[in-house]
Structures are given as structure tokens and as C-alpha cells.
């Protein structure tokens, strides 16, 4: 019998359903990195992303017996993660509504304390600005962008995951990239 890390996802799920925690741990180890990247880009905050990835795996564990082994586990897991991200986004909007106009998203990633910024610092700031800009995209643009550009899914795979057509994915990715160019260009011009 091969160790859990060498089995495919469907086999690990079947073993985990029978109560083998090491099989579920192998699934978590296999998918946590890519899942964290998607969630982090969605929410724009590394700490929040860690919490949401944990929530995703908890939900995955509790619904494991409903997994359809004829479909890819990674896609099913991403769907759970996207739902957790959507819930997080809704909770944030409600908090913002009840606790005043101060945005919980007000982070100025481009604020510099010195006049001369090293190239490395500039790159870090641009990446932080990109993360913030991606996290602020509308969900309809953000999800196809994350899945195709950052997670390298095909338009067909992203379409199946999101329940839209491949052409809609292509259009939304194009619009998301346009919006990011505009936002990042505006940030560059701001003092």
C-alpha cells in the first residue's frame, strides 16, 4: 500500500471519509499553497487569507462525503474557498455599514517614508498595490482573473468552476486587467 502523499485526490478522499486523518492531512498539504494564493489575492490580506483557508478546510472536512469523485478535488475545494471569500466579503460590507464610513480596506500600500525608495522597496510596494487592487475588484471580475491568471486554470476550467461560459471568463479577465491597469496608473500619478 502506497503512502498517502502518493495517492491521487479521489483515493485520499475515500480513505479520509473512512476516518483516516493522515489522508485528509495529505490533501491539505497538497492543496494549501495554491488555495492560500487564491484566497490571499481575493481578500488582499495574508492573515485573513490564513483564516479563510482554515475555514475552507473545516468546511471541506465536514462535507467530504458529498464530494463527487468523478470531478477534480481541487476545483471542488476552490469552490468552497470562493464561497468562504464571498461570505467574508459580505460580512465586511455589513460591518462597514454598521460601524461607520471608515473603510476596513483603507490601506495605503504606496505610502513611502523617504524621498528615495530603493528598487526592491518599489517592487514590494507595487506588488502590495497589485494585491490591494485585485482584492478591490468586483467579484464578477476578480474570480475569473484569480482562477485563470494566478491559478493558471484554462478559461474552460474557470467557466466550469464559476458556472459561466468560457467566453464570459475571457471577457471578464480582459475587463479585470483593464481595471487593474487604470487603478495602478492612477496610483502611480498620485503624490
The domain limits of the chain are 1-104, 107-191
pLDDT digits (tens, 9 = 90+) for 31-44: 999 899 889 988 88
Residue 130 DSSP SS3: helix
Question: Quick one: pLDDT at residue 14?
Answer: 92
Domain 107-191 fold is: Arc Repressor Mutant, subunit A (1.10.10)
Q: Is the dihedral of CA 25, 57, 162, 133 positive or negative?
A: negative
Instruction: Name the pTM for this structure.
Output: 0.59
Q: Are 125 and 135 in contact (CB under 8 A)?
A: no
* CATH top class, domain 1-104: mainly alpha
Q: Is the dihedral of CA 89, 95, 100, 103 positive or negative?
A: negative
Q: Are 95 and 88 in contact (CB under 8 A)?
A: no
- Could you tell me the pLDDT band of residue 105, with boundaries at 50, 70 and 90? very low
- Could you tell me the pLDDT band of residue 114, with boundaries at 50, 70 and 90? very low
Rounded to an integer, the average pLDDT of 146-167 is 87
Quick check: 190 pLDDT over 80?
no
Quick check: 108 pLDDT over 90?
no
Amino acid at each position: 500500500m502506497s503512502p498517502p502523499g502518493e495517492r491521487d485526490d479521489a483515493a485520499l478522499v475515500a480513505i479520509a471519509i473512512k476516518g483516516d486523518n493522515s489522508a485528509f492531512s495529505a490533501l491539505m498539504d497538497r492543496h494549501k499553497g495554491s488555495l492560500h494564493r487564491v484566497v490571499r489575492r481575493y481578500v488582499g490580506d495574508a492573515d485573513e487569507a490564513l483564516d479563510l483557508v482554515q475555514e475552507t478546510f473545516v468546511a471541506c472536512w465536514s462535507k467530504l462525503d458529498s464530494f463527487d469523485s468523478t470531478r477534480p478535488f481541487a476545483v471542488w475545494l476552490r469552490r468552497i474557498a470562493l464561497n468562504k471569500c464571498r461570505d467574508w466579503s459580505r460580512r465586511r460590507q455589513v460591518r462597514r455599514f454598521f460601524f461607520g464610513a471608515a473603510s476596513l480596506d483603507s490601506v495605503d500600500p504606496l505610502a513611502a517614508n523617504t524621498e528615495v525608495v530603493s528598487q526592491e522597496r518599489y517592487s514590494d510596494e507595487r506588488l502590495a498595490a497589485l494585491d490591494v487592487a485585485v482584492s478591490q475588484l468586483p467579484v464578477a471580475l476578480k474570480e475569473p482573473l484569480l482562477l485563470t491568471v494566478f491559478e493558471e486554470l484554462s478559461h474552460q476550467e474557470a467557466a466550469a468552476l464559476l458556472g459561466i461560459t468560457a467566453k464570459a471568463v475571457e471577457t471578464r479577465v480582459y475587463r479585470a486587467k483593464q481595471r487593474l491597469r487604470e487603478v495602478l496608473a492612477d496610483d502611480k500619478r498620485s503624490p
